[in-house]
Amino acid sequence: MRTLYINADIYQSNATKFSVQDGRFEAFYEGLPDGDFDEVIDLNDGTVVPGFNDAHGHFLGLMYIARQIALDAVTTLAEVKELFRDEKTLIRASLFNENTFETGALLDRKTLDELRSDIPVLVLRVCGHVLMANSKAIEMVQGALGLKPSDKADLDRGIFYEEMISEVMSVFLDPSQEEIEADLLESEKIAFKHGITSFQTDDFITYPVPYERIIRAYEALQDTLKIRIQQQCHLKTLELMDDFLAKGYPHQRYGRTVMGPSKLLVDGSLGGQTAAMHAPYAGSENTGLLNYSKETLKAYIERLNAVDMDLSWHAIGDRASAVILDAIEESAPRPGHRHALIHAQLTGKEEVTRMQNLNVGAMIQPIFLDDDIPLLKRLLGPKAKDTYLFRQLFDTVPTALSTDAPIVPISPLQNIYHAVTRKSLKHPTWDAHLPEEGLTIAQAIRGYTEVGAYFMRDDELGALKPGFKADFTVIKDIDLNDINSFLTAQVAMTVVEGERVYTA
């Protein structure tokens, strides 16, 4: 199969036509192409960029969230009550943010009981690290698990943190492999609509089910799913990690899905004030939560080194970044590793230098600025000036862009807008946060394509070059010299390995 694309505005090229043969870019032409083609596609002056690669998000979670009541645009209790009114058996809501809510507080047990007390209610905070529950839900949890109150399970207030969340969810959710497969196929549609051709995803903890059920679902879809998936394998305990290793899963392939690197949640979130910080949060003694000791992280790294597996670990706070870097530094070095810190938005200058020395990359989410700009000074005081150092990261270590969708919109174009402008759309009166840390448009596109491919260890992906895999995205009404146009431009076509998987 040989296809010619014409009337293309090709990124960083003077060519206006290109050909794709057997899933690979064949040639780019300024003049007339040679030979015969099976088909000719007119792109109507659409802009062609390499397919977007979201370097960290929750692919299965795209549907997990889509099946819940979204509270992101809700600011009053009356509105929440209205949204909860017609639910019959279980209320699952997400994207709650107290910072934009009338009470300025989490929805505690008492508040939720006033909204609905007849059926269980579970509300996830926007960060995904805090779960709020009503009395009915807590009764059911107590009947099944018999929890004791702890710093991660505030039963009186009905608030659960971190790993307690999946424990609580396990009482309510148990999707079958077939249901998971159906969700993955729906998630793929969402990604393609946004021009995303590769997705590096943490799916193992989306549902409180054995991780192998997720792997089996991907295996069953190995001839069906077309998107490239890199599974950031979230194995919360060393026992689970050992189980995964013993079963030979590292680097395992199912069609375009690959297992690896390792994912761990080393700390919490900024909004939940659970990100592990060197200095306490403003006006408190709290320095956040570290979920793993350095010794445990070293035990993971030792196992990963033995099977040549990289790590992509969640680190929001500077102290979380530091402890991961300590663990890497104190473990036997593995040349050629492609380790990364996911998030790294409160990682300070000191840690950025250490990342450079250890060649540890970053998977960053500029779109978090949309929510975080008003929080930084309020929660962190003077440390705010040492956050979101994305230009420093980009200039010194491999730095890929990602959204962490679905906790924020999956849109690459909006994400690039934030990477470049450093502004919040939700809080337009606030100044750009450290504008000198903004990326250029070209850097942001590279972070969304080439660097993503680097972390997938795929050297034939992420660029418009002859011989490379023909993954590309066609965008309408975009001006690559005008960042504001990114907010109104539309994805017109998405192509994976030469196959058109989405057309507007």
- Which residues contribute to the site for Zn ion (CB under 5 A)? 404
CA distance 207 to 184: 13
Place of tokens 């989490």: 106
Q: What residue is closest to Zn ion based on CB?
A: 404
Please, which residues bridge with residue 491 across strands? Answer: 475
Place of tokens 């999956």: 410
The distance of closest approach from Cβ of residue 154 to Zn ion in the complex, given in angstroms and rounded to an integer, is 23
The distance of closest approach from Cβ of residue 316 to Zn ion in the complex, given in angstroms and rounded to an integer, is 10
| Sheet of 361-364, strand order | 312-315, 340-343, 361-364, 399-401
**CA-wise closest residue to 301 among 358, 352, 356, 343:** 358
In the bound state with Zn ion, the residue whose beta carbon lies nearer, of 137 and 400, is 400
The distance of closest approach from Cβ of residue 61 to Zn ion in the complex, given in angstroms and rounded to an integer, is 8
In the bound state with Zn ion, the residue whose beta carbon lies nearer, of 310 and 404, is 404
CA distance 80 to 115: 8
The distance of closest approach from Cβ of residue 404 to Zn ion in the complex, given in angstroms and rounded to an integer, is 4
Buried-exposed string 317-353: b where 16+ CB fall within 10 A, e elsewhere: bbbbbbbbbebbeebeeeeebbbbbbbbbbbbeebbe
Handedness of CA 204, 301, 258, 127 (dihedral sign): positive
The distance of closest approach from Cβ of residue 59 to Zn ion in the complex, given in angstroms and rounded to an integer, is 11
Place of tokens 């692919």: 59
In the bound state with Zn ion, the residue whose beta carbon lies nearer, of 404 and 471, is 404
Q: Where are the beta strands (DSSP E) in 344-430?
A: 361-364, 399-401
**CA-wise closest residue to 411 among 328, 329, 473, 336:** 473
Task: Give the three-class secondary structure for 444.
Answer: helix
In the bound state with Zn ion, the residue whose beta carbon lies nearer, of 451 and 464, is 451
Question: Does residue 358 contact residue 329 with C-beta atoms inside 8 Å?
Answer: yes
| Sheet of 91-96, strand order | 69-70, 91-96, 121-125, 130-133, 159-161, 153-154
Q: Which two tokens stand for residue 168?
A: 């609580």
Place of tokens 């705010």: 384
CA 206 to chain centre: 12
The distance of closest approach from Cβ of residue 203 to Zn ion in the complex, given in angstroms and rounded to an integer, is 10
CA distance 135 to 107: 12
